Structure 1
Amino acid sequence: MPATVAATDIGFLTILSKKTAATTFVAFAEITELTLPELARDSVEYTHYGSPDKYREFKPGLADAGEVGIVYNLVPGLLDDATIATHLATNTVEAWRVTFPNGATLDFFGFATAHGRAAPMDDKMTGSATFKISGKPVVTPAA
């Protein structure tokens, strides 16, 4: 009998939401690209005068959950653009959620570190934002 293989999917229908109440998340309206965080860990050097064969020695340091980036269809001052501008003005760490097409979620606390806008002459206007994650993100598998 063949082994069960987990299904893979495209990113279509992935949602980024901002928590607005105890159990309420409001989804962004027109995200066209979502970059998920790249987890990293610092290394702390523990080399000493007796390190074997003159090689540097390291131990794992603190983890960094990285950033989430988005690109969206820009409607200046409305929809996603307004959500990000309002968030930037609060200067606070807030709760965010990525919901994947299979129902799994990635919950994190974070804050916007960048918000950009582009208005090319012959193409759609776009907005972008980068969110720095604070603390450990939580992935919940689909039910």
Structure 2
Amino acid sequence: MAGLDAFGTQLQRSDMAGSPTFTAVANVTSVTPPALERETLDMTTHGSPDQWREYIGGLKDGGEVSIDINYDPRLHDSLVADLDDDAPRDYKVVWPKALGSWAFSAVMTGFQPEAPHDDKLAASLTFQVSGKPTITTGA
């Protein structure tokens, strides 16, 4: 298989209600899902075989999520409230064609609009993932 078409991928935002409703963020042009990482702990000792370093897994990090949007202040300025919110909010990256989703809690860390004289209004939003993402595989 050569690959899958990314068209239709969404970033959805929770209303954080008791039975949450997720709504797609409008006009998303690019989604970079959580960049999962894991630290390693150096367990090397003077007795490590043949002087090779030895490691074990350490803390894991959900990394960052970023999206680029065709910026419309009427649709997107309400998201700036997420930047003021200290508590993480729930989001989902939903893959196209029912391929699954990645759900996560995150704190918005950046909202960067731009208005070049020769191009469209655009913005980049960045989120720091808090805790472990939930990965759901679709069809």
Q: Which residue of 2 aligns with 1:10?
A: 5
RMSD (Å), alpha carbons: 1.7
Cα distance, 1:38 vs structure 2: 2.1
Supply the distance in 1 between the matched residues of 2:7 and 2:133 (Cα, whole angstroms).
Answer: 22
Opposite residue 27 of structure 1, the aligned amino acid is: A
Which of 79, 90, 96 is equivalent to 2:91? 96
Say if 2:110 is the partner of 1:114.
yes
Whether 1:105 and 2:101 are equivalent positions in the alignment is yes
Alignment of 1:21-100 (within 5 A): 21=17, 22-76=19-73, 78-83=74-79, 85-100=80-95
Q: TM-score scaled to structure 1, two decimals?
A: 0.87
C-alpha distance in 2 between matches for 1:102 and 1:81: 29
Q: TM-score, normalised by structure 2?
A: 0.89
Cα deviations across residues 10-53 of structure 1 (Å, max 9, x unaligned)? 11111111110223012101111111122111000111122222
Task: Give how far 1:8 is off.
Answer: 4.8
The whole-number CA distance in structure 1 between the counterparts of 2:84 and 2:119 is 29
How many pairs are equivalent?
A: 136
Measured in 2, the distance between the counterparts of 1:86 and 1:23 equals: 18
Find the residue that maps to 1:109 and give its secondary structure.
strand
Distance of 2:86 and 2:121 partners within structure 1: 26
Instruction: Tell me how far apart the structure 1 counterparts of residues 44 and 71 of structure 2 sit (CA, whole Å).
Output: 51
Runs of 4+ in 1 over 4 A off after TM superposition: none
